[in-house]
């Protein structure tokens, strides 16, 4: 299961957003925009922005997450959310001595499927190790010919070898990343990825991220989550058909964060 940590975030995120909104709707100067912004008035500004659909002020608050224990398959999905910043552990520079992997629950629940999956992971590791060994031996003479000492030549050869050996690693291979999104992008992320139609791994990740931001900006994210929390399901015939159940789940999540 993914482990998510909220590493940092804009100090007083809701007040920062309210300050930006106040500037839009009042003659206040920069020096004055935070004057009188009590908790109640800050919450009122945040609520007003949600009510009228004015989303640009919420871009002024950003949140940085540390994410680990997720698959390379999830990485391909989350990076489709382009208004974000990502730093990902590199398979090019970090050798996978015994790579960790994500085991899907549906596979784990069936002994025969789990056995087949684990066998595939073991085989992938063997292929990776063998390819690294073969390619390292190929590259060592190249670096020796460049005048490198034996130890340095082997280090450089191994580093070059894993650049190509990594191609055999599976989508299940676990990775780590640091991800930063502004609040507006997070809202969009939660809308799409907290939905039951989202793939299970990224849905679990999105829900964990939502729990964390609710603790530090409860007014801002109180309406965050799948579209069906705010109206009819937009999925049409592809709907999961569990709108009431989904709403109950997110009500509990938000109550637990209070």
Q: Hey, which residues are catalytic here?
A: 193
Does residue 172 contact residue 206 with C-beta atoms inside 8 Å? no
Nearest to 75 by CA among 174, 212, 6: 174
Report the chain's C-alpha Rg in angstroms. 24
What distance in Å separates the CA atoms of residue 66 and residue 62, rounded to the nearest whole number?
Answer: 14
The two three-digit tokens of residue 200, written as one number: 């299970």
121 contact partners, CB below 8 Å, separation of at least 6: 99, 101, 170, 172
Within 13 A of 65's CA, how many CA atoms are on the CB side?
Answer: 23
24 contact partners, CB below 8 Å, separation of at least 6: 54, 57
Segments in 38-182 forming alpha helices (H): 39-52, 72-78, 105-108, 111-145, 150-165
Nearest to 17 by CA among 83, 61, 64: 61
Local structure of 65: helix, strand or coil: strand
162 contact partners, CB below 8 Å, separation of at least 6: 91, 92, 95, 96, 132
């Amino acid at each position: 299961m993914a482990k998510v940590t909220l590493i940092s975030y804009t100090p007083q995120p809701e007040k920062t957003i309210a300050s930006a909104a106040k500037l839009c709707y009042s003659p206040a100067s920069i020096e004055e925009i935070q004057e009188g912004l009590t908790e109640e008035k800050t919450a009122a500004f945040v609520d007003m922005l949600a009510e009228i659909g004015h989303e640009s002020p919420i871009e002024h608050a950003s949140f940085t997450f540390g994410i680990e224990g997720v698959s390379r398959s999830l990485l391909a999905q989350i990076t489709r959310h382009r208004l974000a910043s990502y730093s990902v552990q590199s398979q090019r520079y970090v050798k996978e001595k015994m790579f960790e992997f994500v085991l899907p629950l549906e596979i784990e629940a069936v002994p025969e499927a789990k056995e087949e999956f684990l066998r595939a992971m073991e085989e992938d590791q063997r292929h990776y190790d063998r390819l690294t060994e073969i390619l390292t031996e190929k590259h060592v003479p190249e670096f020796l010919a460049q005048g490198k000492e034996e130890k340095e030549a082997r280090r450089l050869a191994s580093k070059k070898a894993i650049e190509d050996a990594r191609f055999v690693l599976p989508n299940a291979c676990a990775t780590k990343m640091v991800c930063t999104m502004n609040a507006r992008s997070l809202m969009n992320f939660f809308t799409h990825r907290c939905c039951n139609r989202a793939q299970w791994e990224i849905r679990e990740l999105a829900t964990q991220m939502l729990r964390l931001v609710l603790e530090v900006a409860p007014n801002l994210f109180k309406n965050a989550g799948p579209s069906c929390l705010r109206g009819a399901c937009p999925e049409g015939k592809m709907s999961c058909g569990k709108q009431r159940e989904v709403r109950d789940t997110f009500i509990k999540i938000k109550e637990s964060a209070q």
